[in-house]
Homo-oligomer: A and B are copies of this chain.
Amino acid sequence: MSSAGVMPQDQPARISGIDKIERRRIALAESALKTLGELGYARTSLREIANNSEFTHGVVHYYFRDKIDLISYCVRYYKTKCAQRYDEVVETATTADELGAGFLAKMTQTLVDETPMHRLWYDLRAQSMFEDQLRADVVAIDQLLEAMIWRILGRYAELVGGEPAVDASTAYALVDGLFEQAVVNYADDPAGSSERLVQRVSSVLPKLITT
């Protein structure tokens, strides 16, 4: 993803140069993600992305080959920020209840705080079924998320003194189904949506463990 940190320190100018390029790409990616999260893939244009940044529309092609290259970069950038979300909870929790409560709290928090990003994720995953160039990046994120859920479920089983009753992909698909439902319904009823998510996940989690 990034070549930063590879250059030796006797070329400080070049390092900052590369870093500057990378920082610009990140700045553009963040503007793009903001726009994509608001408008969705189908309605987001490069000019709109540039309007939401500090640059003009031409600069996009200075840092990215084309539109799909930018969006692909956005997806890869996004993944670095989302898949370790629950790691702290997993590591610090000492009882199953504590883990469950911490997981659910973080889950509803990200549902509320980052609704546009989650909307975008489900949009992009759907787009990847039609746009081959997005496939690989989407698959990679799906795997990260699956591993994340698996760490939680594994630790949960450990704390409860049992074993996961389903494999990692199944567990991810189930939890993701519940979460996507909450994201889709969030606009209509934010409070109720996160409330129901908590209740549903906590009712399902125990069923995925054999004691």
Contact = CB atoms under 8 A, between A and B. Distances in A.
Contact of A127 (B40, B135, B138, B165): B40
A126 B129 contact: no
A178 interface: yes
Binding site of A, secondary structure by majority: helix, strand, loop or mixed?
helix
Contacts of A131: 40
A126 B40 contact: yes
B126 A130 contact: no
A162 to B, nearest CB: 14
A130 B125 contact: no
A165 B207 contact: yes
Nearest to A132: B187
A62 B172 CA distance: 46
A97 B41 CA distance: 43
A39 interface: yes
A129 B125 contact: no
5 closest Cβ pairs, A-B complex = A177-B177, A40-B130, A42-B42, A173-B181, A123-B126
27 contacts: A39-B130, A40-B131, A42-B127, A119-B126, A119-B129, A119-B130, A122-B126, A123-B126, A123-B127, A125-B126, A126-B126, A129-B184, A139-B188, A166-B200, A166-B204, A169-B200, A170-B203, A172-B181, A173-B178, A173-B180, A173-B200, A174-B174, A174-B204, A175-B177, A176-B177, A177-B178, A207-B207
Given A40-B126, A207-B208, 20 more contacts: A42-B42, A42-B130, A122-B126, A123-B130, A125-B126, A125-B184, A129-B183, A129-B187, A138-B184, A139-B188, A142-B184, A165-B207, A169-B181, A169-B200, A173-B177, A174-B177, A174-B204, A176-B177, A177-B180, A207-B207
Interface of A: 39-43, 119, 122-123, 125-131, 135, 138-139, 142, 165-166, 169-170, 172-178, 180-181, 183-184, 187-188, 196, 200, 203-204, 207-208
